[in-house]
Structure 1
Amino acid sequence: MNATPAMHRIGSAARLSGVSAANIRYYEKEGLLPPGLRMDNSYRLYGPDDVHRLRFIRLCRAMDMSLQEVRTLLALDLTRKADCEAARDTLDEHLAHVRSRLAELQALESDLMALRNRCDGSDGHCRIIEALHARADAGALPSTPAAAGVRRHV
């Protein structure tokens, strides 16, 4: 006798996968997850493969991967050598992004530390607030790609 795989409504699939119902709908809209089966009452149903796919997406997103990177990885096959190379290339590109972001964050940390060191609380007024106001008057932003209008990765 064949056992029918358990099917889950969206709330149950969300709990099992750790992905919110809103994100499940979004991932369907983005093509990362096939649309759930619909019951007569229009409830969406998701099977074990869908729950696994949602967990995979959540894992990749937790590693700060873009939707396009996740889409690429989802399209790959575990057994094809070319797909292994594509997965490696995707991760190499993501590592480059992470390293770039680390450099940005280190520059931001240095800037914040320099700002913090302006004031020890013993003066009659706060040198931190003074410096922030001076920067605001000058229109000066931290010198990171994000501040320069460069789009974030995700």
Structure 2
Amino acid sequence: MPPSLVQSPQYRIGDVARQAGVSAANIRYYEKEGLLTPAAREDNSYRLYSADDVHRLRFIRLCRAMDMSLAEVRTLLELDWSRKADCEAARVTLDEHLQHVRSRLAELHSLEADLLALRNRCDGTDAHCRIIEALHARADAQPLTAPAGSAGKRHV
């Protein structure tokens, strides 16, 4: 965990959302998922956050923008940047994420080739569209139900 930032005046959720670049709904979700300590409450039950919370939310947003899972973000948040063992844990977490990204890139390259081949089926001069024809043929070739335990490819 980085050194504690100077505790500033308490901020309400809307202010923190703007400062951190996330929505209030995301903040509540991150609290629910344990990535952010539940906020203190004012007498009127409004959530109150500190500058440390803003920093933590920015850290979470940065990791999520790099397509890290909540589990990966949680792991990184639990590490102390001054411990050598935690540095190794951070490297392992990023290495695993890099492998995931490389796998996704391979899937996306395959998808790109497939889409280009599909696009090249039709130049707009035929009596009917070969792209739509091919899509209908693929839809008909799909199994009626997904096999048990199979997960579809993630659409990005």
Q: What is the TM-score when the length of structure 1 is the normalising length?
A: 0.89
Of 79, 97, 101, the residue aligned with 1:98 is 101
* Whole-Å separation in 2 of the counterparts to 1:30 and 1:4: 24
Q: Does the alignment pair 1:86 with 2:58? A: no
* CA deviation map 1:52-98 (0-9, x unaligned): 00000000000000000000000000100000000000000000000
RMSD across aligned positions (CA):
1.5
**Uncovered stretches (5+) of structure 2, i.e. residues with no partner:** 1-5, 144-149
Equivalent in the alignment of 1:49: 52
Of 17, 20, 23, the residue aligned with 1:20 is 23
Q: Does the alignment pair 1:115 with 2:128? A: no
Q: Check whether the contact 2:7–2:50 (CA below 8 A) recurs between aligned residues.
A: no
* Whole-Å separation in 1 of the counterparts to 2:65 and 2:104: 15
Q: Please state how far the C-alpha of 1:138 moved relative to its aligned partner.
A: 1.0
Change (3 A) 1:48 1:122: same
Of 69, 72, 75, the residue aligned with 1:69 is 72
* Whole-Å separation in 1 of the counterparts to 2:136 and 2:46: 54
* Whole-Å separation in 2 of the counterparts to 1:123 and 1:29: 55
Equivalent in the alignment of 1:35: 38
Q: What is the TM-score when the length of structure 2 is the normalising length?
A: 0.88
SS at match of 2:48: strand
SS at match of 1:74: helix
What is the number of residues matched between the two proteins? 143
Q: Please state how far the C-alpha of 1:6 moved relative to its aligned partner.
A: 1.6
**Uncovered stretches (5+) of structure 1, i.e. residues with no partner:** 141-147
Change (3 A) 1:45 1:75: same
Of 125, 138, 142, the residue aligned with 2:141 is 138
Q: Please state how far the C-alpha of 1:149 moved relative to its aligned partner.
A: 1.4
